[in-house]
């Protein structure tokens, strides 16, 4: 099977075969980024625009680095100095980027569906770097990649996601991604932080952290998204941390092979204790490294360049 899609908007839209192509391509790029010379000419002459209308550290920087490692030209757009502040619509801004012959637009936006609107109206490739509560597909792909680096297969693994699932685009992408790849997925949170009817997507719900993580091979923690309009849906942050935070004491009671993941940014002392975040079972910084390889793979695949060309020095 070869890659045919122009855009990457949602894990929901990807087949298992398409997910596998991205993971296989990322594996080759992971080898590349560990070499002394990390740059290839795969996207020479192409231009990638980064348009982040919400804050980001990991996703924006790793997309910029990924594009540069592939020799693309990179345009960083600052929303506060763009003509969006003068009333230009998102689509008109994007049409201007296309008029400048930009090949790929990587966009983060607070509204679900924003990336899809651009994908439907432009010839340029659109990559969704997070849209509201909807999806964050590249985060899910780097999570799948990281688990596979540490476990032989995803099929049959027990994974538990703990935290503010209601507001989390990472959780939504991972629900699609992990279940498509055959993972037994449990979601754990307070009832107020779980979307209604989410179990219809083939996941188990557990409100008790100890029970939810008892047999987990992988535990993914999520922060409370204080910046969202509905804010904290819990009596207090301290109480939330007591009930749903992963402490070093609790971790000691689990399978010592259980892996700890978090998409970042982490809120130490709330959803994760420092000893857990920095401990030997934590893959948090491996996730960041793998994000670079996965984003190189996605930029390369969406460019439509033949396989083989992308790895040539
Ligand atoms: N995981 C993630 O999306 O992090 P950033 O918000 O820093 O990009």
Mean pLDDT of the chain: 94
* Residue owning the nearest CA to atom 5 of ligand 1: 56
Between 3.40.50.1370, 1.10.3720.10, 1.10.1200.10, 3.30.70.3270, what CATH number should domain 137-286 receive? 3.40.50.1370
Q: Are 123 and 149 in contact (CB under 8 A)?
A: no
On the question of pLDDT at 306 being above 90, the answer is no
Q: What region, left, alpha or beta, does residue 307 occupy, with left being phi > 0 and alpha being psi -120 to 50 degrees?
A: beta
pTM assigned to the model: 0.95
Give the residue range(s) of CATH 3.40.50.1370 domains in the chain. Answer: 11-135+288-310, 137-286
142-179 confidence digits (pLDDT tens): 999 999 999 999 999 999 999 999 999 999 999 999 99
* Residue owning the nearest CA to atom 3 of ligand 1: 59
On the question of pLDDT at 230 being above 70, the answer is no
On the question of pLDDT at 312 being above 70, the answer is no
From the CA of 308, how far away is ligand 1's center (Å)?
30
On the question of pLDDT at 308 being above 70, the answer is no
Which of 54, 58, 145 for mutating ligand 1's site (highest number of atoms within 8 Å of CB)?
58
From the CA of 295, how far away is ligand 1's center (Å)?
13
Which residues have CB under 6 Å of ligand 1? Answer: 56-59, 130, 136, 139, 263-265
In this prediction, residue 307 has a pLDDT band, given cuts at 50, 70 and 90, of low
In the chain, which ranges are continuous DSSP H helix?
A: 16-33, 58-69, 90-99, 114-121, 137-150, 169-180, 209-213, 237-244, 248-252, 274-277, 284-303
Percent of the chain with pLDDT over 90: 88
Q: What CATH number was assigned to the domain covering residues 11-135+288-310?
A: 3.40.50.1370
In this prediction, residue 227 has a pLDDT band, given cuts at 50, 70 and 90, of confident
From the CA of 291, how far away is ligand 1's center (Å)?
10
């Amino acid at each position: 099977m070869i890659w045919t899609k122009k855009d990457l908007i949602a894990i929901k839209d990807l087949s298992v075969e398409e997910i596998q192509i991205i993971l296989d391509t990322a594996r080759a790029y992971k080898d590349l980024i560990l070499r002394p010379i990390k740059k290839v000419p795969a996207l020479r002459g192409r231009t990638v625009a980064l348009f982040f209308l919400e804050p980001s550290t990991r996703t924006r920087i790793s997309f910029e680095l990924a594009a540069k490692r592939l020799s693309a030209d990179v345009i960083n757009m600052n929303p506060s100095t763009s003509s969006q502040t003068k009333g230009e619509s998102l689509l008109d801004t994007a049409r201007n980027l296309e008029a400048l012959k930009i090949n790929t637009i990587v966009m983060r936006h607070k509204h679900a569906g924003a990336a899809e609107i651009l994908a439907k109206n432009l010839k340029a490739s659109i990559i969704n770097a997070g849209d509201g509560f909807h999806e964050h597909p590249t985060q899910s792909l780097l999570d799948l990649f990281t688990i596979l680096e540490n476990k032989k297969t995803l099929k049959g693994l027990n994974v538990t996601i703990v935290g503010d699932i209601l507001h989390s685009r990472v959780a939504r992408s991972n629900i699609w991604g992990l279940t498509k790849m055959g993972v037994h997925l449990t979601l754990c949170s307070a009832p107020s932080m779980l979307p209604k009817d989410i179990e219809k997507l083939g996941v188990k719900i557990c409100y008790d952290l100890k029970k939810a993580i008892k047999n987990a091979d992988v535990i993914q923690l999520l922060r409370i998204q204080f910046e969202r309009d509905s804010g904290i849906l819990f009596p207090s942050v301290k109480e939330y941390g007591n009930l749903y935070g992963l402490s070093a004491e609790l971790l000691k009671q689990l399978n010592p092979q259980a892996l700890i993941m978090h998409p970042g940014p982490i809120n130490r002392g709330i959803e994760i204790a420092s000893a857990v975040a920095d401990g030997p079972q934590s893959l948090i910084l491996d996730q960041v490294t793998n994000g670079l390889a996965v984003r190189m793979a996605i930029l390369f695949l969406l460019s439509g360049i033949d396989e083989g060309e992308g790895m040539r020095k």
